[in-house]
Homo-oligomer: A and B are copies of this chain.
Amino acid sequence: MLKGNMVIGQSGGPTAVINQSLVGAILAARQADAIEKILGAHHGLQGIMNEDFIDLTTQDEAQLEAVAATPAAALGSVRLKPGKAECERVFEVFRKHHVRYFFYIGGNDSAETAYIIAEMAREANYEFCTMHIPKTIDNDLKVTDHCPGFASAARFVALAFMGDDRDNAALSGVKINVVMGRHAGFLTAAAALARQSDSDGPHLIYLPERVFDVARFQQDVRNVMARYGRCVVAVSEGVGDADGNPIASSGERDSHGNIQLSGTGALGDALAAHVKAAFAGETVRVRADTFGYLQRSFPSVVSEVDAREAREVGAFAVNHAVNTAEPASIAIRRLSSTPYASEYFSTPLSSVAREATEMKDAYINAEGNDVTQAWLDYAEPLVGDLPLIGRL
């Protein structure tokens, strides 16, 4: 048995349930003979390099439960792709602190980090197990049926569209809502769960998996307005033109080379201008909202399935590590949609690192401006029951 201390860290964009995974891992580690001290790294790799740890070995359990129910990363997060020098420093710290287990909670960038570190340990013959614990509101990890964090963000998006569609029905006009999701449209597609009757919005859904053509968008909106006298649009922040260029952005990039799309209203305002141009000479109320960071960290809007699975994935990762000492990521297999049932399994780090996935064709309609029933069947059990819309 590989015996020693463990480090756990959180990385990338926070979610509403990332702390469930943290607490699930901590509580499982407390039961594991192989694990001595449990060290939380502040701000992921950054904290490891700075030896900035918090000892979680005996932290009060009630306090941990409060943390589990609190959105965003309680340890602090980071967006950092380690180079050779950073990895060497990480190992220096791990050796110094007798760390034999490393758990990194994050998306595919974090899986890549975990993979690099696992490879370095192997080359250095340092007995060590690195685990990736999946989380991402984008739902874009490979192998797994879905990612912890997605369903809670999807629930926020569905509720937001449900209320905003009633708002739009009350005052009419065109309403554009920009939803997070850089390359994958899963979260934007969750807007479709808001519909409870034929005329309910969102009436149009644009995903980054399809080319966004401004002229077609304008025509789509004109068609919906002609039919319903109003139009609610869900559009992913990641939509791009035929050459893959964003429709509008601030131009800023992070250390993974990702361009900044969130935290700016640029795309919403650009699309609103396109709609106004499409109705030039007519009086049409056009508004755009960008849901922004609320989607991933709103307290009290959590999917029950998501909270439970996020917790269990954290525990599963720890148990896998102490039982096998094999570096891996954890994935979810759906056993049934009605009633919903799932199980967990391990998958090689290389299978989820770097490359992400996106919406399959079966989830997107032929016109590329809506989702299909197959998508709704996939998403509904994850998001859970939504309030019923009352109508006169």
Chain A residues within 8 Å of B, Cβ to Cβ = 10, 13-14, 16, 19, 40, 43, 54, 56, 59, 63-79, 159-160, 162-164, 166-167, 169-171, 175, 262-266, 268-269, 272, 286-294, 296-301, 386-392
Contact = CB atoms under 8 A, between A and B. Distances in A.
Contacts of A170: 10, 14, 43, 72-77
A306 to B, nearest CB: 15
A391 B67 contact: yes
B293 A294 contact: no
Contacts of A19: 390
Given A266-B265, A289-B294, A297-B167, A392 B67 contact: yes
A77 B285 CA distance: 14
A16 B171 CA distance: 15
B14 A294 contact: no
Contacts of A294: 160, 163-164, 289, 291, 294
Contacts of A298: 159-160, 163
A66 to B, nearest CB: 3
9 closest residue pairs by CB, A with B: A265-B265, A263-B287, A66-B390, A289-B292, A72-B166, A67-B390, A163-B297, A73-B170, A70-B390
A78 to B, nearest CB: 7
Nearest to A68: B390
B299 A162 contact: yes
B70 A389 contact: yes
A290 B289 contact: yes
A199 to B, nearest CB: 13
Which of A65, A66, A67, A164 has the largest number of chain B CB atoms within 10 A?
A164
Nearest to A163: B297
A41 B312 CA distance: 52
B167 A293 contact: yes
A299 B169 contact: no
A136 to B, nearest CB: 14
A352 to B, nearest CB: 22
Most buried by B among A56, A66, A299: A299
A117 B66 CA distance: 54
B264 A71 contact: no
Nearest to A166: B72
Contacts of A297: 163-164, 166-167
A154 B10 CA distance: 31
A305 B253 CA distance: 45
A74 B264 contact: no
A290 B266 CA distance: 11
A49 B224 CA distance: 26
A65 B290 CA distance: 31
Contacts of A293: 164, 167, 175, 287, 289
Given A159-B300, A163-B299, A262-B287, 5 more contacts: A70-B390, A72-B169, A164-B293, A264-B288, A291-B294
A304 B70 CA distance: 22
